[in-house]
Amino acid sequence: MEIQVDPFRTLLGAEVVEVREGYAKLKAMVKEEFLNFYRIAHGGFLLALLDCAFAISANTDAKRFAINMNVNFISPANSGDTIYAECEKIKGRRTAFYRVRAFKNGEVIAEGTAIAQASK
């Protein structure tokens, strides 16, 4: 499968690690620019990284667009940490359901669900 160029993914510094039907895994390093005022990774950075994995995963078997994403933040990430984000299809055809998770050092630091709709 050919992965489309995504300027936003490039801005995040996210690298595609693995792609197969219904699954995508990316990695990115937390940069100083991605920290919040507490000096930990901004939730928006983690959510954006998960969304990039979701976009790739959801489009491996059909052209889909996102309907919803819900993420819970479990543990913080710090500047210099490498974060892995993965998305896996759980079920569905036209409307499909996905699980998203972010990891730091093998530990889940954020997880949630996402829904995508296939184009007509």
Residue 2 lies in a domain: no
Cα dihedral 12, 70, 108, 56 in deg (nearest 10)? -50
For residue 98, give the 3-state DSSP assignment.
strand
Domain assignment of residue 1, yes or no: no
The answer to whether position 92 is within a domain reads: yes
Q: Are strands 15-20 and 95-104 parallel, antiparallel or unpaired?
A: unpaired
Domain assignment present for 112: yes
Which pLDDT does position 2 carry in this prediction?
64
27: containing domain: 7-118
Domain total in the chain: 1
Assign residue 31 the CATH number of its domain.
3.10.129.10
User: Can you tell me the mean pLDDT for 76-84?
Assistant: 98
Q: Is 31 domain-assigned?
A: yes
Q: What confidence tens digit (pLDDT) does each residue in 34-73 have? A: 999 999 999 999 999 999 999 999 999 999 999 999 999 9
